[in-house]
Structure 1
Amino acid sequence: MNGMNDMNGVRVLLVDDHATMRMGFRMILEASGIDVVGEAATGAEAVSAAASLRPEVICMDVQMPDLDGIEATRRILAAARDAPPRIVIVTTFDRDDYLFAALDAGASGFLLKNAGPEELVSAVRVVAAGDALLAPGVTRRVIERFARTSGNGSDVPVRPPEIDPGLTEREREVLRLLAQALSNAEIAQQLYIGEATVKTHVSNVLQKLGARDRVAAVVYAHRHGLA
């Protein structure tokens, strides 16, 4: 996939114990050309479906029978050795414990069910492209929580700090803007460079920091005074 225009073929698994919610999500995604390859009503079904259907993105509810969405996320990612799916937690509950547990389990996004249809479509496309996505207002809470913590016991995996992670000056600029929760398009505007160039810089930053995704990079930036 080379960009947002190539995202119509994204394979999505919907996981929610309410059939009407799954139906609504399916209609929204399929109307945007996104391929819904399957549905699951429980966490256990999600684990099984993820293994057999190999979706690229999973929209995962939290509160479900037999296995909650957080534990299902953890098991799915642990079992996926090659090309693990990107998982977006989609929940009714705007709770910090769900948010941080989801990030710790390896989720790439966190979205509330009251989000508009365009936000759901955007979330699927953003995580499929390799980025992380948090609902509006959530990024600030992540930063505030982890900026107050020490370097130990982080809920968001980041490699132990190095004296010099080897970032170039431009990469440091990009990291500072990431720490302000700016998108690639907004960073491109700030630095007067192309969006593809920003994506390359972001990828280099994540690799050098040993950060799993943009959220982990933001936490690193705030902890180590790079914001």
Structure 2
Amino acid sequence: MVTVAIVDDHESVRIGLRAACQNAGITVLDEAANVAGLLPALRNAPADVVVLDLSLGDGSCVTDNVKRLQSAGSSVLVHSIADRVQAVREALAAGAAGVIPKSAPTGAVIDAIRTVAGGGVLNNLEWASAIDADNDFARAKLGQRERDVLHLYASGLPLKAVAAQLGIAHSTAREYLDRIRVKYIEVGRPAPTKVDLLRRAVEDGILPGLAADAAGGTNERP
């Protein structure tokens, strides 16, 4: 059973999302106008997914909101107006699993909730356009062999299998992986775990959107 919580400062939006989730068999644990109002409930029973309004009226920072919800044990799906590119980028950099436009059909929102609840990383048009339109979003400058290693490793292969497929030593594959992580740190987008690398690969167009569990767990390190 998928569980969800909703943070939006417009009551009508919360009512609409609650009704859509309930009609789809998704359990809505709680809702609030801001993150502070939701956190006590999440500490008692974390939701699989929190649908978070990108810009709340309390003046809170989207980066802080995403991180606070994640620390409470929930994945975050950002509910956004399409033209807020900078805030979208900040939400993704903070670790949000994806963005769904407020203009999206109800079915698309439900599908996005299920994807995120299952550990998926969304790769929708809003995400791609936000990154492409934002000159401050720095991609890591990876060489072709580094891209090959990242593609295979983030797709779910163990590092030894990556090395075997590319015809290189396991130690060499590890060096490439270490180099990749350093390059992402240099552009302000660290990727300490395998799922973080999956997210970076999706963001930079090296992989299409994939389920996070294909990458071997949320905290795996080689």
Give the shorter-chain TM-score range.
0.5 to 0.7
Q: Using the alignment, how far apart are the partners of 1:221 and 1:147 within structure 2? A: 17
Query: Who is 1:192 aligned against?
Result: none
1:129 alignment counterpart = 118
Is the contact between residue 98 and residue 127 of structure 2 (CA under 8 Å) also seen in structure 1? no
Residue 88 (structure 1) aligned to one of 77, 84, 89: 77
1:109 aligns to 2:98 (yes or no): yes
User: 1:87, CA displacement in angstroms?
Assistant: 0.4
Q: Deviations over 1:50-70 (max 9, x none)?
A: 222200000001222433444
Local SS of the residue matching 2:196: coil
Contact 1:46 1:72 survives alignment (8 Å):
no
Aligned-partner residue type, residue 37 of structure 1: L
The TM-score normalised by the length of structure 1 is: 0.63
State the Cα distance separating 1:148 from its structure 2 match.
Answer: 7.8
Give the equivalent residue in structure 2 for 1:21.
Answer: 13
Report the CA distance between 1:99 and its aligned residue. Answer: 1.0
Are positions 1:218 and 2:207 aligned together?
no
| 2:155 alignment partner AA | V
| 1:149 paired to 2:133 | no
Q: How many residues align?
A: 174
Distance between the aligned counterparts of 1:165 and 1:134, measured in 2? 18
Q: Normalization by structure 2: what TM-score?
A: 0.64
Q: Is the 8 A contact 1:17 1:41 kept in 2?
A: yes
1:203 alignment partner, one of 137, 150, 156: 156
Give how far 1:18 is off.
1.2
Q: Is the 8 A contact 2:51 2:77 kept in 1?
A: yes
Assess, with a 3 A threshold, how the Cα gap between structure 1 residues 137 and 44 changes in structure 2: closer, same or farther: closer
From 59, 71, 75, the equivalent of 2:64 is 71
Per the alignment, in what secondary structure is the counterpart of residue 104 of structure 2?
A: coil
Give the aligned partner of residue 30 of structure 2.
38
Return the alpha-carbon distance in structure 2 between the equivalents of residues 48 and 161 of structure 1.
46
2:165 maps to which residue?
A: none
Q: Which amino acid aligns with 2:69?
A: I
CA RMSD between the two structures: 3.6
Measure, in 2, the Cα distance between the counterparts of 1:36 and 1:59.
Answer: 10
Match of 2:23, as an amino acid?
Answer: A
Identity of counterpart residues, as a percentage? 24
Provide the residue aligned with 1:180 in structure 2. Answer: none
